[in-house]
């Protein structure tokens, strides 16, 4: 069976646009990156190094500048970021911590080898938290009194 049934609710899906939610931070980030590019150009003595540094810095903040799609469902979490897609089945989730704006999903129980993925809630905070509480494995979310499992 590929689609949701009456017993399995459909996944909660949303799009996150951080640049649109925080345009002033975006303008400041782009101005700082441009300034750093000019400084690299002047220090290196060749414009190509300035351009390469700007491109590298823009790539590092691509999740802020571009849209990301997130889906939380019975199979796990799918996060489509600008440069990569992360599929996290519930079996791999070790812990989830969240606040009002985002969730930090840790995917391995081994401390040094674990991977963490940040999922921004955007405008769907209540729906995202409801989906996490519905489908996340027991012991991965903080208890309702705020204590860790």
Q: Give the β-pairing of 68-72 and 12-16.
A: antiparallel
Q: Give the β-pairing of 76-80 and 68-72.
A: antiparallel
Q: pLDDT band for position 74 (50/70/90)? A: very high
- Residue 103 burial class via C-beta count within 10 angstroms: exposed 0-12, middle 13-18, buried 19 and up: buried
**pLDDT of 23 above 70:** yes
**pLDDT of 149 above 60:** no
**pLDDT of 1 above 70:** no
**pLDDT of 5 above 60:** no
Mark 26-42 as b/e (b = at least 16 C-beta within 10 Å).
Answer: beebbeebeeebeebbe
């Amino acid at each position: 069976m590929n689609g949701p049934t009456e017993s399995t609710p459909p996944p909660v899906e949303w799009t996150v646009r951080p640049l649109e939610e925080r345009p002033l931070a975006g303008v400041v980030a782009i101005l700082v990156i441009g300034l750093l590019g000019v400084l690299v150009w002047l220090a290196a003595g060749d414009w190509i190094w300035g351009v390469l540094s700007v491109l590298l810095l823009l790539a590092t903040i691509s999740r802020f500048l571009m849209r990301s799609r997130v889906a939380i469902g019975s199979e796990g979490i799918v996060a489509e970021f600008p440069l990569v897609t992360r599929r996290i089945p519930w079996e791999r989730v070790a812990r989830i911590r969240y606040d009002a704006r985002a969730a930090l999903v840790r995917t391995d129980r081994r401390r040094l080898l674990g991977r963490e993925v940040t999922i921004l809630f955007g405008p769907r905070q209540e729906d995202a938290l409801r989906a996490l509480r519905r489908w996340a494995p027991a012991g991965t979310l903080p208890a309702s009194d705020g204590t860790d499992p």
